[in-house]
Each structure stands twice: as structure tokens, then as C-alpha cells.
Structure 1
Amino acid sequence: MRDPRETQEEDRGRERGGDRRPGELTVRELLRFAWRQLTSMRTALVLLLLLALAAVPGSIVPQEGVDALKTSRWQEDHPKLTPVYEALGLFDVYGSAWFSAIYLLLMLSLVGCIIPRTAVYWRALRAQPPRAPRNLTRLPDSTSYRTDEDVEQVLARARAVLRRGHRLRRADDGDDGAVSAERGHLREAGNLLFHLSVLVVLVGFAVGGLLGYRGGVILVTGKGFGNVLSSYDDFVPGSLFDPDQLDPFSFVVDDFDVDWLTEGRGAGQARGFSADVRYREEPGAEEEAYDLRVNHPLTIGRTDIFLIGHGYAPVVTVRDGNGDVAWSGPQPFLPMDQSLMSFGVVKAQFADPQQIALEGFLYPTFGMSEDGDPMNLFGQAANPLLSMEVWTGDLNMDEGPSQSVYVIDKSDAVKVTDDGERYRLDLRLGETAELPNGLGTVTFEDLEDWQRIQISQTPGKLVALAGVVLALVGLLGSLFIRPRRVWVRARADGDGTLVEVAALDRSGGGDVTAVVEELVAQLQGPENDRTKGQGTT
């Protein structure tokens, strides 16, 4: 048989909510429960941890908006994982729906945490310090002594001493014979400020991501740049970016200098590099000079210009079978490791009768390993060698500018061989080689430097910086401000006035013995002979 109480409870539930059984939640109650869970501090910490973990794939997996070429190479090398990563949005982590969801939920959770705690803190600021406990000497940090002064004199002196740095309870609040004081309310303000600062930082990043942009360009030394969209090699705008935001500047890289290590295990590696830049803030403006270095960006208007990398651009001349120049100029090669061994492609689209493409490696300082394999010894160009394979045929370059300059469409091209044998073009600086089958010649004319320049606008960076500063201030306040309460009670007895002093650390673990001793010394004053006796608990 069913318990009659269960039946009665079900009847009452039906009266209140139709057929709802005990324990069932209405939509309103369910939403309220979900909101409380979302705005709890535990949820905010979990979301903050998830946001940090979600950013990890963005630093491991190549991102399309940062390095499209590296991303395409990774996809070619991992054909099975590529569809999975694309479905998960791992090639554009910071623009994916799941990363944005974590970001927005964290902001919502922080707002839900901060507002109620601020209301509680405001009420605590307006509230009076609590009354003194009935038995002060039972507190862990307390003391008592006797004096010939009357009760009012002791309490007046206690108020005068505690008024400096403490908030006192009003004397007319029904706490006769005792003085209550407290301090350290700024500790909770520090906690609130720290949580608010996290929200400010998130807002700063969001503003930068929505309204700003980031672009990159590779410039060979001596070449210039005008700040228009068509000049960028890659360009990642924010969702609300307006092309009118582009500042109308231009600049030219006149010279590039690398400080090479000459001794030790790092000999031949770059210790630092800088570029001499001439720029104009707008057309017709006076030209100015700037020494562009790593971590020393050039700021023009709202735009920051960074020097983030460098490499080599071999100057190659390709002549076709008729002896006509089909290609000539510097072609930037992309470094593959810290030694600046670089990969690149040269495409001679106008070669006759067939188009010619070169694909291979640049060794700035060529050497041979003990096993006889080619290797690059140093980043400094002491013995440059260009080693490339040759392709000929239709390179399908009429498809438009979408084809990468570092990728050869080999669907309608064939690799050049020499009498059926594998053919590879190895050229040292200044050398010329004839291609098989009368295709033409290739000359390694010179070796120039190129610089990787990043150009960006981040409107929210000052907001994010303010958030970081607020976080430090709030953290210092929450760590070093000790909230405590102090009580002084005086009452007359047969031997004079008995004074009890006690203090309590509200943060836990704090030692307030010194506070009690200092307060007693101030209450007694310099004439200690008035004290008849003193005891400490």
C-alpha cells in the first residue's frame, strides 16, 4: 500500500501545478536553477580553466588566419586528420563556435557573480560593526587588565585610539560598556576588483577581435608597402571591421641588419635583427625614419607595425628555350628551421614553349653530414646553395590569384629528367645551369634579405591593459589586507575598572596577538603605574 502522505503530497502538487509530481521543476524553476549554477564562482573557475585549455589547440595546430601556408602543408601531410580537425574548427580555434560559447558563458558567469557580491558588499559597508561578545576573554586572542580610571575615560580613549584606521559602532546602538570596531573591508573590494578585472580583460580582447584586424606582408629589402588591402599577403579582419579604419601610411625598408653569433655552439645563428624604415603617415606628409626592431613596434596613428621574422630571397633568372627572360627577381623562401634552411618556389609563367617551375631548398651555409647528406650549417649566408627540382607543362596559373606562390599545381605538369634519370638543379651563388631538353637556363644571381612585417589594429588593447592593472591591484589588496574586528569592554568592580580587550582575524590564520598588545599599550598610556594588574589569555 502507498503511504497516505505521498498521496496527499501529490494532491497538493496537482493543486499547485496541475499534474506536476513532487520534485518536478517548472520551466521557471529550472531556468532559475540553471542561472544559479552558471553564476556560481565554481562555474566561473571551471569556465576560466576551459578557456585556457581551449586556447591550447590554437598554439599547437597551425591556424589559417596566422599562417595559411603552414596550415595547407599540415593538411597535405595529414589527409586523414584534416577532415576531423576541420569539423572541430581546430584550424580557426579563436573564431570557432565552441570557443566563442565558452568565452560568452564565462563573461555571463562573471557578471552574475560580481553583481550579487557587490550588493552584499555594499550592505556590509553600511552595516554597523557587530556588538561585543558577552565573554571577550573566551576569544583566542584576548587580554584583560585593571585600572583606576573610570569606565567612561577608558571607553573614550578606546574610541580615540580605534578611530584611526577602524570603523566604530555607534555608541547609541545599544552596546553599553563596550567599543566595537572593525577594519579590512577593502579586502573584499580587492576580490571584487580582481573578478571585475577578468571581465574587463575579456571585454578588451572582444573589442580588439571585433573591431581590429591583423595582417602580414613579406618585404624584400628596398621594397615599399602602402596600407591598402591589396598590399597584404594575409589579412584577418574582425567581424565589425570597416576598411575605412586603415590608416593611409606607407613605408620602405631601406636596410636590414642581423647580429650574428660568431662563437660558441650558437655560432652562425641570429642574436638580433633590425630594419631601417622610412615612412609617411599620409600621402604628402613629411618622411620620417625609424629603427624597427623586435618588440619595438612602430606606431602610426591607430596602427602598430611589428618586425617578427626574416629570411632570404634568392635572386633567380629563368630563360626559356628561346633565350628570353621568363622570370627574374628575388623570390622569398620560407625558413623551415632555426638554421634558416628555406623552402621556395619559382614559377616562370611566360616561358616558351612550356611553363617552367622550380621547387626546392636554399641552404644559406651548405655542408655535408658524415653520412653524405646535404645539410645547412648556419643561418648566416656564408656558402649559399640553391637545390631545386624542375617541373614543366601547364601550371594552371590562369586560375587567378588564389593559387599560393609556394605551391605548384602539378596536375598538368611533369618533373624534368635528364635522359630518364632524376634531375636536380644545384646552383651556387653566381652560377648558371642549362636545363635538359633545351628548356632554357637558370641563374642564381644574388641573395637578398626579406622581413616579415605584422600590421595590426587592436582597439581594445588599452582596455585589456587596464584590466591587467586592476587585476594586480585587486590581487594585492586581497592578499595583504587583513580584515579584523576589535572590542574593548570596561566595567567597574570593587577594585576599580576591569578592561577586557579582544581581536578576531576574519580571514583565518592571522595572528592578532600583536594587535591586542599594541592596543592595550595605547589604552594604558605612558603612566603604567595606574595599572593594578594585567592578565593575558
Structure 2
Amino acid sequence: MTKQSTTRIAGPSRISSVVNFLGSMRLAVSLLVLLAIASVIGTILNQQQPYEDYALKFGPFWFDVFRDLGLYNVYRTNWYLAIVGFLVLSTSTCLIRNTPRMIREMREPDTAMASAYDPQGMANKTEIVSSLPMDSATQMVVAVLRGRGYRPKLHDRGDGGMVILGRKGRYSRIGYILTHAAIIVFCAAALYNADIPVKLAMLTGSTQPENNFHIPLSK
């Protein structure tokens, strides 16, 4: 008898799939679009006005429709807070996942990157064969890199080869970090101003909302 062994290739776990989904750019852009649409509605339509004014302006049918959608108080509706909450979660996930790597890359010295240089393991690489001497070819590459805004540095590999390392925009990642942090702060402020404690009290039943009655339109 022969024994057969099977190997199972484990796919991404559910936790990693959720993290990748929350930190995806597609989700963040979709949430920002929804948030922009809701903000436009809240800007065009006067908020927190007496119900009688809305009833006189839109009529009985559209008054009820807009009231059920929460358009008279957009910034405190559950669906608006859900969008803001998911945007905070998505932005925080992206920031927590990428910030350590970005800080590590900004602080990493050029010599460490040069020592870890492996042309075979690079996804994007270009091989150029030149008949020029090493010094002439090196000067040519350095001149091209400087012309494109890089600051090239030379590192001897020790095997007769030369590594020319050119980095540009090392600290540009700070803008990425600050932008995402600002989005989190703005969204957190929106959640704070949305009377969330009052909503929680309403869910638990300790607080009852006051019924708003609108005056019927006169014929």
C-alpha cells in the first residue's frame, strides 16, 4: 500500500480579508462619495426647521418622504453616522497598516537598502548592457538620475559591481499620514456633534423622543 499525502494551501483568513476590505481604496472612495452627496443635501436643504415649514414647502406627500429619509436633520441620521463611522474605520485601518512601514522606510539608511539590493527579486527592473567602462557608465547613470530630481549615491558591492541608489520624495509619505489623520479627526468631530449619547439613551429606552406634529395644509 502506498500512502498519499495531501497539502492544503491555506487562503487568506477572514480577519485579513476584512482588514483588506476596510483598508481598500475603493471602499474609502465610495464612502467619501456618499458623504459628499449627503453633505450637499444637508447644505441645500435648510436643516432643523419647524416641520410646518417643510410641510408648506413640499406638500404632504414629499414632506413624509423627506421626513422618513431624515433629510430635515441629515447630519444626525443613523445612515449618515454609519457612513462617517465606516469612513473612520476604513481610514484608521489604512493608517495603522501602512504607517509603520512608511516610517521604517523613511528612517532606513541608504546603505541598508543598498546591501539588500537584489535585482532578481525586484518586480520592476531594467537591464542595460553597455560597452562603456565602469566609471563612464556610472557617471552617465548618475547624471540621468540627477536630471530627474534624484540624489544618487554610489555603493560598492564588493564583487566588481556598483549599486547606484537614487531616492526621491522620502518624506512625502508624511503628507499621506497627516491627511489620513486629519480625516479621522474631522469624522470623529462629526460623530461627537451628532448627539450619539442621546441616541444610545433612546435605544435603551431611558429617553423618549418628543413627537413633532405638523399643521395640515389648508385647502
TM over 0.5: yes
Task: Kindly indicate whether the alpha-carbon contact (under 8 Å) linking 2:45 and 2:72 is maintained by their aligned counterparts in 1.
Answer: yes
Q: Is the counterpart of residue 203 in structure 1 residue 185 in structure 2?
A: yes
The one-letter code of the counterpart of 2:38 is A
Question: Unaligned 5+ residue runs, structure 2?
Answer: 120-124, 197-214
- Once superposed, what is the RMSD of the aligned Cα atoms? 4.5
Query: What is the CA distance between 1:114 and its match in structure 2?
Result: 2.4
Aligned to 2:72: 91
Q: Is the counterpart of residue 76 in structure 1 residue 56 in structure 2?
A: yes
Aligned to 1:509: none
Q: Equivalents in 2 of 1:175, 1:185: separation in Å?
A: 30
**C-alpha distance 134-55 of structure 1, shift in aligned 2 (>3 A):** closer
Aligned to 2:207: none
Task: Kindly indicate whether the alpha-carbon contact (under 8 Å) linking 2:47 and 2:72 is maintained by their aligned counterparts in 1.
Answer: yes
The one-letter code of the counterpart of 2:128 is L
Return the structure number with greater strand share: 1
Q: Is the counterpart of residue 39 in structure 1 residue 20 in structure 2?
A: no
1:427-485 residue CA offsets vs partner (Å, 9 max, x unmatched): xxxxxxxxxxxxxxxxxxxxxxxxxxxxxxxxxxxxxxxxxxxxxxxxxxxxxxxxxxx
| Sequence identity percentage | 26
Alignment of 1:226-237 (within 5 A): none
Aligned to 2:153: 168
**C-alpha distance 101-134 of structure 1, shift in aligned 2 (>3 A):** closer
Q: Equivalents in 2 of 1:102, 1:178: separation in Å?
A: 52
Q: Is the partner of 1:62 in helix, strand or coil?
A: coil
Aligned to 2:203: none
Aligned to 2:14: 30
Aligned to 1:58: 42
**C-alpha distance 62-175 of structure 1, shift in aligned 2 (>3 A):** farther
Query: What is the CA distance between 1:55 and its match in structure 2?
Result: 1.8
Q: TM-score, normalised by structure 1?
A: 0.28
Return the structure number with greater helix share: 2
Question: Unaligned 5+ residue runs, structure 1?
Answer: 14-21, 138-142, 212-237, 241-407, 412-537
1:80-132 residue CA offsets vs partner (Å, 9 max, x unmatched): 22233222211111111111111111121112122322333345443514357
Aligned to 1:120: 101
**C-alpha distance 169-117 of structure 1, shift in aligned 2 (>3 A):** farther
Task: Kindly indicate whether the alpha-carbon contact (under 8 Å) linking 2:154 and 2:162 is maintained by their aligned counterparts in 1.
Answer: no
Task: Kindly indicate whether the alpha-carbon contact (under 8 Å) linking 2:84 and 2:191 is maintained by their aligned counterparts in 1.
Answer: no
1:20-53 residue CA offsets vs partner (Å, 9 max, x unmatched): xx99x9xxx4344223211112211121112112
Alignment of 1:34-433 (within 5 A): 34-64=18-48, 68-69=49-50, 72-77=52-57, 78-125=59-106, 126=108, 127-129=112-114, 130=117, 135-137=127-129, 145=132, 166=151, 168=153, 170-171=155-156, 173-174=157-158, 176-186=160-170, 189-190=171-172, 193-194=175-176, 196-204=178-186, 206-207=188-189, 210=192, 239=195
1:242-271 residue CA offsets vs partner (Å, 9 max, x unmatched): xxxxxxxxxxxxxxxxxxxxxxxxxxxxxx
The one-letter code of the counterpart of 1:36 is N
Q: Equivalents in 2 of 1:50, 1:43: separation in Å?
A: 11
**C-alpha distance 167-115 of structure 1, shift in aligned 2 (>3 A):** farther
Q: Equivalents in 2 of 1:123, 1:167: separation in Å?
A: 20
Task: Kindly indicate whether the alpha-carbon contact (under 8 Å) linking 1:128 and 1:169 is maintained by their aligned counterparts in 2.
Answer: no
**C-alpha distance 155-106 of structure 1, shift in aligned 2 (>3 A):** same
**C-alpha distance 175-46 of structure 1, shift in aligned 2 (>3 A):** farther
Q: Which has the higher contact order (CA 8 A, sep 6+)?
A: 2
Quick check: which has more Rg, 1 or 2? 1
Q: Is the partner of 1:128 in helix, strand or coil?
A: helix
Q: Is the partner of 1:111 in helix, strand or coil?
A: helix
Alignment of 1:504-519 (within 5 A): none
Q: Equivalents in 2 of 1:51, 1:199: separation in Å?
A: 17
Task: Kindly indicate whether the alpha-carbon contact (under 8 Å) linking 1:57 and 1:90 is maintained by their aligned counterparts in 2.
Answer: yes
Task: Count matched residues.
Answer: 180
Q: Equivalents in 2 of 1:192, 1:33: separation in Å?
A: 27
Query: What is the CA distance between 1:170 and its match in structure 2?
Result: 3.9
Q: Is the partner of 2:82 in helix, strand or coil?
A: helix
Q: Is the partner of 1:136 in helix, strand or coil?
A: coil
Task: Kindly indicate whether the alpha-carbon contact (under 8 Å) linking 1:159 and 1:168 is maintained by their aligned counterparts in 2.
Answer: no
Task: Kindly indicate whether the alpha-carbon contact (under 8 Å) linking 2:152 and 2:165 is maintained by their aligned counterparts in 1.
Answer: yes
**C-alpha distance 134-40 of structure 1, shift in aligned 2 (>3 A):** closer
